[in-house]
A and B are shown apart, each in its own frame.
Chain A
């Protein structure tokens, strides 16, 4: 059985677990680092990156996460989760993905928005209704990073090998497309396809 951990220190973790459940996949709350041993994939949800970062540090997540990443297991970060996966530019990045991001780059809450974006998920070009909340921007993508989604010519979703990131919140909308894509990544990695 596939098991996907959702980092549950703060933020919209329940929404990710519910979205996985709707696709028939078991997701569980990851509160302490040792629980990662049971996971085939990891989602780092949206929330306040400063709050999540501090709790991650305090509870010693970094070593276990590093092993998980190096083992090639799939990790997906949404919004705050993407900030944590990016390079060290924000002071909070784990550096698992060769991207530079800027926090709250679309403005304050009054500038938060929904917009239909274009995604290219494994050859299937689709539109996706994306919700951006005080969202981070991807300023730079490294040479091994594939852009999978864009808005007005700017990357809003990207992948580097086993790491997926998006600046918006698929867990807040009804479209399961991006969750399905990540579930496929986890299945492929586990050899269940």
Chain B
């Protein structure tokens, strides 16, 4: 039995496609997420909106909390490690989480390097704001990517920006003559082989979800129509007035993203979504999506 191969790691991401991964901080929230139809939960100490509010250093969640959530639900459980913090990642692998998110939402532990993800049997998902960043993470062994958006804001504009940026670059590379690919790889700061893959296959080599700012079923549907393979919802569910209803509505909107009648029905009477913060009011230093190299 060959474990931890790239096909096995990337394969789980394939199974999550068309689904919603929800941030949860307690066993009760995890059960609500599973009941609502989440394909996976991200076990956290604080959701991004509260990490933003709390300030200080944001670290890996206490394994005690993660393990309790793993025991409470049957769907895969993800957890976050700081950028570059392979020590946290080793702990997360040891407790058996199903996916590690090397995340800009936590305070980066390394100013130059990300984790060498090839050294792990557990798969990693990493954030990206453009194609070069996505391909660097895949080059380091990430088996799944997600556009970063701007976590904890409830403002979808950065999720849209990052997804469009990646789509545009994929389209551009697809149309280039072969002799331009090496210079393009140099300009993107991306591995040449992966640029060639994108050129030949017209898509990223791994599944790409969207994260950061998705707060309503309409947000989810738009992001899916823009070509995301699935959705991460952080603060959008448990900062809303009626988490169960919101969670179910976002799940249905993600599955039926191209059916406006379904979208209209599930969007009705959900109560208040999360209040949110317009990202245009944030300083550059407050932008989590700037983290990562």
Contact = CB atoms under 8 A, between A and B. Distances in A.
A115 interface: yes
A152 B36 CA distance: 37
A50 interface: yes
A131 B74 contact: no
B250 to A, nearest CB: 12
Contacts of B188: none
Interface residues of B, number: 39
Interface stretch (B12-20, B54-62, B80-88): B12-20
Contacts of A115: 1-2
A14 B39 contact: no
Most buried by B among A14, A55, A103, A109: A109
A10 interface: yes
Interface stretch (B103-111, B158-166, B252-260, B283-291): B252-260
B246 to A, nearest CB: 15
B40 interface: yes
A50 B122 contact: no
A137 interface: no
A103 B17 contact: no
Given A11-B17, A51-B37, A114 B76 contact: no
Contacts of A169: 11, 14
B7 A8 contact: no
A8 B258 CA distance: 12
Given A54-B37, A108-B96, A109-B99, A12 B14 contact: yes
A47 B17 contact: yes
B12 A134 contact: yes
A110 B12 contact: no
A114 B121 contact: no
B5 interface: yes
Interface string B1-40: 1111101100110111111000000000000001111111
Closest 10 CB pairs of A and B: A109-B98, A113-B1, A48-B39, A10-B18, A54-B37, A51-B37, A12-B14, A112-B8, A10-B19, A113-B3
Interface of B: 1-5, 7-8, 11-12, 14-19, 34-40, 70, 74-76, 93, 96, 98-99, 121-123, 251-252, 254-256, 259
22 contacts: A8-B18, A9-B18, A9-B255, A10-B255, A14-B17, A31-B259, A47-B18, A47-B39, A50-B34, A51-B37, A51-B38, A51-B75, A79-B15, A108-B98, A110-B96, A111-B3, A112-B8, A112-B11, A113-B1, A114-B5, A134-B12, A172-B11
Given A47-B18, A55-B251, A134-B12, 5 more contacts: A46-B14, A50-B34, A131-B7, A132-B8, A133-B8
